[in-house]
Structure formats: C-alpha cells, structure tokens
C-alpha cells in the first residue's frame, strides 16, 4: 500500500488521500468544493456519470483511498429526462449528448451529466426537476470545507536527485496534471516545476516528471494497467457465488465478438449503452458483457472478431437479468498479438 510522503526537490506531485477507509466526521458527511473540472463516476475508476464544474459543491459521504464518495444535487431541464423506475432512481438523462446540471432552475451550470445517468428526483418546478445522485470523485480535485483531514505517515528524507537532461522549467498556466485530455486528475503541479514535454495535441501537452515515492521493500506495485486485481474470480465462480464478487476487479483473457449497444430490454444497462460482446474460454466459452464509457469507443473501434483481449474490469452484475451472463465495467484493455 502506498503512503503519502515528502518528495525530492524536483518532485511536483501533491496527491490527496490515504488508502484506508476513513470517516469524514462525526455526522458522517461534510461539504466539499470541486477545485478543477473533474469526472463524477459510478464507482472508483468506474463508469463516468458526468463531469462536475470547478467551484461546484458536493456533500462528502466517505473516503476510500484516493477517492471520495459524494452526493451531488441540482436542477436539470425536464424535457431532457425520461421516467425510469430502478431502485431509488426514478428518472434518467435521455439527451444523446447529455444535459447540464444547474444550481437552480435556469441557473449556473455546475456540471454535465452523461446520457443514461440514473437520478433520484427530489423536487419539481415548471420545466425543471430537482435531482440527486451519489457517486465518486478523485479526492485531489476536492477541497473539504469542514471535517478532519486524513493523517499522513511520517517519512524519511527523500534522496537527492540529479536533473535529467532534456528537462526545462516551464511556466505552468494550469497546475493540474490529468491522466489524459479531459481525464481524471493525477496530481497538482507546483508552479515552476521541472517537466519534460514529450508531445502535444492542440492545447494539451504530454509531460514527464521524476520524483520519489515511499515504497518499503516488499511492497507490490499495482498490476493489470495500474489497478489492483482482487483474488482470482472466474465467470464460473459467479454462477455459484453470485453477488459475493460484485465490485471486485478481475483480469480476464476474453475473445472479442462484437461491439454492441444495449436495447431497452437489457435492464442492467441504460438504453444505448455500449458494450463488448465477448467469450471467456474460447469460441464455446461463456459470454461476458464488457460495458464501456462512450468516450472509449474509439479505443475499441479497430478490434477484429475473434481477437484475444486482456481485459481488466470491475464486476457490475454476476448474472444479467436477461441472459444470466456476467456484466463487467471496463477499466483497462490490452490486445493480445496473434501467434505467428
């Protein structure tokens, strides 16, 4: 497990949160302000429900490692919604491009929710619905207004480092380092930090930084695309052990069949949600549905039927209501080269 420690003089990363589950305060909740525009997710590293604007307010429920579970509320244009009875949720965003979440009817935009995001209706005004949703956000992107801070472990002094050739001090106009353009926040840069620009895409620059992290001897780094994989779980185990494994991360070799869009009859998905139809265990193996966020469709656009994939995913359902096959949410994907 990782602890947050002092960095070397060239280090520029300020990472928020520990890895233990910690209560926020005696009431179990506290308020937070979103520092930078950030993804709002179904679960840590999971499906994106929308993006929250800088300055928007959230109610923090609890911390889990580097993630915060939060309640988000606001107002949304009624014509962009459809009624949907699914547990505590009674409406769903129906607009193909998603819809703005506002602080008040026709008020300030506090975020934008993706099509298919389920919401709980809390109130109504002519043409507008008051809504609420619980989800997860990267903790480094949120400033807590109240509540105890997460304790940090003490650390030995970082070893000195020599600046590599090719690095240059840049004027940082935005201090936030993202995993990808419009992705989640990885860290916050200190102004004047040393970075190496590797490539550019429009107004985005891909950069490299070097620093030191505390990692005691014997600590194991994350695997499978940077995600910690839980105890081995197979689709066959899901048949007998059911929802015991829901929420766990698995790493499976799957045979790609096709890219599909969920129809309304598939109640475990939102209508139109993209997913990969795959098989576990070869051409006669069990079907597995791999749900993926809409923005990741280009990533799988070049897949060929019967191509082998190494998929890291989080189990959503042990058995779908329609077919009984497992549903997982994509975290990472690697194409396996065909043998020569």
Whether 130 and 171 map to the same domain: the answer is no
Q: What is the pTM of this model?
A: 0.42
Single residue among 98, 117, 144 that ends a domain in this structure: 144
CATH code assigned at 283: 2.40.50.140
Residue pair 237/245 in contact (Cβ under 8 Å)? The answer is: yes
Show contacts of 85-92: CB within 8 Å, 24+ apart: 86/118, 86/267, 88/120, 89/118, 89/119, 89/120, 90/119, 90/120, 90/121, 91/118, 91/119, 91/120, 91/121, 91/129, 91/131, 92/116, 92/117, 92/118, 92/119, 92/270
Strand order in the sheet with 204-208: 168-169, 194-201, 204-208
Whether 85 and 171 map to the same domain: the answer is no
Asked if residue 221 is part of any domain, the answer here is no
Structure token digits, residue 34: 């979103």
Give how far the C-alpha of residue 156 lies from the chain's centroid of Cα atoms, to the nearest Å.
32
pLDDT in tens, the chain (340 residues): 333 333 333 333 333 333 233 333 434 568 999 988 899 999 988 889 999 998 999 999 999 988 999 999 999 988 888 887 777 898 999 888 889 999 998 888 999 999 999 999 999 988 899 999 999 999 888 988 865 443 333 333 444 444 444 444 455 556 667 766 666 666 666 656 667 777 777 777 777 776 666 554 444 444 444 555 555 788 888 877 766 777 788 889 999 999 999 988 888 888 888 999 999 988 889 999 999 888 888 888 889 999 999 999 888 888 888 888 999 989 889 998 877 6
Asked if residue 330 is part of any domain, the answer here is yes
Whether 135 and 176 map to the same domain: the answer is no
Residue pair 51/137 in contact (Cβ under 8 Å)? The answer is: no
Pairwise CA distance, residues 136 & 266, whole Å: 25
Single residue among 144, 165, 199 that ends a domain in this structure: 144
- Structural domain of 27: 21-144
Pairwise CA distance, residues 99 & 296, whole Å: 19
- What domain count does the chain have? 3
Asked if residue 218 is part of any domain, the answer here is no
Whether 3 and 32 map to the same domain: the answer is no
Asked if residue 217 is part of any domain, the answer here is no
- Please state, as a whole number, how many other Cβ atoms lie within 10 Å of the Cβ of residue 217: 4
């Amino acid at each position: 497990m990782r602890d947050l420690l002092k960095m070397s003089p060239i280090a520029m990363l300020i990472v928020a949160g520990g890895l233990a589950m910690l209560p926020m305060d005696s009431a179990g909740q506290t308020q937070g302000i979103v520092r930078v525009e950030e993804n709002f997710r179904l679960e840590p590293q999971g499906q994106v429900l929308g993006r929250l604007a800088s300055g928007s307010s959230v109610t923090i429920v609890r911390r889990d490692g580097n993630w915060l579970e939060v309640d988000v509320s606001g107002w949304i244009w009624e014509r962009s919604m459809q009624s949907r009875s699914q547990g505590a949720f009674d409406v769903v965003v129906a607009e193909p491009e998603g819809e703005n979440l506002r602080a008040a009817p026709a008020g300030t935009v506090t975020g934008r929710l993706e099509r298919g995001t389920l919401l709980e209706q809390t109130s109504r005004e002519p043409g507008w619905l008051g809504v609420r949703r619980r989800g997860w956000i990267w903790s480094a992107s949120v400033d807590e207004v109240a509540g105890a801070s997460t304790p940090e472990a003490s650390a030995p002094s970082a070893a000195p480092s020599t600046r590599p050739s090719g690095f240059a001090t840049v004027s940082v106009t935005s201090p936030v380092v993202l995993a990808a353009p419009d992705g989640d926040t990885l860290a916050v840069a200190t102004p004047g930090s040393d970075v190496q620009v590797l490539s550019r895409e429009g107004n985005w620059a891909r950069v490299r930084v070097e620093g030191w992290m505390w990692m005691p001897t014997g600590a194991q780094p994350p695997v499978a695309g940077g995600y910690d994989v839980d105890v081995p779980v197979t689709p066959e185990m899901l048949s007998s052990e059911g929802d015991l494994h829901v929420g766990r991360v698995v790493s499976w070799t799957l045979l790609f069949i096709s890219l599909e869009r969920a129809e309304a009859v598939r109640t475990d998905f939102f209508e139109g949600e993209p997913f990969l139809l795959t098989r576990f265990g070869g051409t006669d193996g069990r079907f597995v549905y791999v749900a993926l966020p809409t923005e990741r469709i280009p990533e799988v656009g070049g897949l060929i039927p019967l191509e082998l994939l190494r998929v890291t995913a989080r189990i959503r359902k042990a058995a779908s209501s329609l077919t009984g096959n497992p549903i997982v949410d994509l975290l990472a994907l690697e194409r396996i080269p065909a043998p020569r």
